[in-house]
Structure 1
Amino acid sequence: MVGGVLVLWAVATVTFFAVRLIPGDPAEAILGGPGSQTSPEALAAVRAEYGLDQPVLLQYLSQLGRLATGDLGRSYALNMDVGPLVFSQLGGTLILALLALTVAWLIALLLATWSTGRGRLARQIGSGLEIVAAALPHFWLATTLIVVFSVWWGVLPPISTMDARGLVLPVITLAIPLAGFLGQVMRESLTIALESPFVLSARARGESDRGVLWRHALRHAALPAISLSGWAFGSLISGAVVVETIFARPGLGRTLLNAVTVRDVPVVVGVVMIVALAYILMTVLTDLASRLTDPRPIRTPTGADA
Structure 2
Amino acid sequence: MDCDELSMALPRYPNGPKADPMKPDYANPDFWDARFQDTEGLFDWYATYDELNDTFEEFCPIKSHCEDSLLVVGCGNSAFSAELHGAGYQHITSIDISNSAISKMKQLFDRPGMTWQVMDATAMTFDGDSFHLAVDKGTLDAMMSPGTNEFAGAMLEEVWRVLRPEGLLIVVSHSGKRLQLLKSHGTWQCLEIRKCRLSPQATFINMLRCKLPPGAPLKDALQQPQLLQEAAEEAKQALRRMAFLDAFRIFKARKQAQAGHIQEAEEEPPGEAGEAVSNGSNGSDPRRQPFCWIYVLRKVV
Higher strand share: 2
More contact order relative to length (CA 8 Å, sep ≥ 6): 1
Q: Which has the larger radius of gyration?
A: 1
